[in-house]
Amino acid sequence: MKAHKFGVISVIDLQAKMREKGVEFNKPCRIYEVCNPQQAKRVLEKEMAIATVLPCRIAVYEEAGRVTLTTLLPTQTLGLFNIPDLSAEAQDVENEILAMIAEAAR
């Protein structure tokens, strides 16, 4: 992560969190909230409403005997805000997140 200038803000154990709330959920899933603070600062300075989709999240779970890593693509997420001059930042963040996922999958 550090090579990509991202850090882990928190890890949510979804199964444990649901159990805390009295809900039995039998599928282990961890959600990693990750952030590149410099990129986050740039986009938030342009539009504070983007805070609703930050930090970026990567879900890790097992399905059909295989571990899956997945995320919402920043180009699509930031595209919801209709701010064309954020497309370069969104693409940069997306490239880094997909690279981190690819590295973790090895």
Q: Write down the CATH superfamily of domain 2-105.
A: TT1751-like domain (3.30.310.70)
Give 34-90 pLDDT, tens digit per residue: 999 999 999 999 999 999 999 999 999 999 899 999 999 999 998 899 898 899 999
Residue ranges per domain, the chain?
2-105
Cα 13 to Cα 2: distance, rounded to the nearest angstrom: 22
Tokens 């930050």 found at: 54
Q: Nearest-CA neighbor of 78 among 102, 106, 52, 101? A: 52
pTM check: above 0.85:
yes
If 0-12 CB within 10 Å is exposed, 13-18 middle and 19+ buried, where does residue 83 land?
middle
Strand partners of residue 10: 33
Q: Are 40 and 54 in contact (CB under 8 A)?
A: yes
